[in-house]
Amino acid sequence: MTDQSIAEAFAKRLREFIEQKAYLDPTAFSDMVADEVVLHTPRFWRPVTDRNWMIGILSMVPQAIEGFTYHRQWISGNEVVMEFDGTVGDKKLHGIDIFTLNERGQISSLTVFIRPPNGLEALAEREDAMLQQMFGVARQDDFVKR
């Protein structure tokens, strides 16, 4: 399978996960995430490199953002860029996820961009509460130090 076909299969599977609400089961993403992974998020200064944290984030975000929907996508080799939107309370969000996949079609890197700032702030507040419930900590630094 080529990088392009692996990326297309990944994008299709991710869309189905969102549409079917498979993210409600946090283990659903387990086989989609590589053992060594890097997450660049506007929430934290440093990249997140913990696989369990990445799986938790993938499960949590569609729950934290009401009406989370992927709209457009762009694929180039082993990279998939997916545009999304939704709301947190009365704040609208718009963003993109840039996924880099390994040869097995698993996420090895994810970079997230979200706008506007007040939407990101509302998401951060909601995420903190959800992360506290999932991991017992809300801040990445606290999680990494455990």
Query: How many domains does one find in the chain?
Result: 1
- Which CATH number characterizes residue 108's domain? 3.10.450.50
Which residues neighbour 30 within 8 Å (Cβ) at sequence distance 6 or greater? 55
Q: What pLDDT, on the 0 to 100 scale, is given for residue 146?
A: 46
- Residue 27 placed within a domain: yes
- Residue 143 placed within a domain: no
Token pair in block for residue 84: 């999304």
pTM above 0.75, yes or no: yes
- Express each pLDDT in 84-119 by its tens digit: 999 999 999 999 999 999 999 999 999 999 999 999
- Residue 114 placed within a domain: yes
Return the percentage of the chain with pLDDT > 70, whole number.
92
- Residue 88 placed within a domain: yes
Domain range enclosing 93? 3-138
- Residue 145 placed within a domain: no
The whole-number average pLDDT for the span 22-35 is: 91
- Residue 146 placed within a domain: no
CA distance 36 to 107: 9
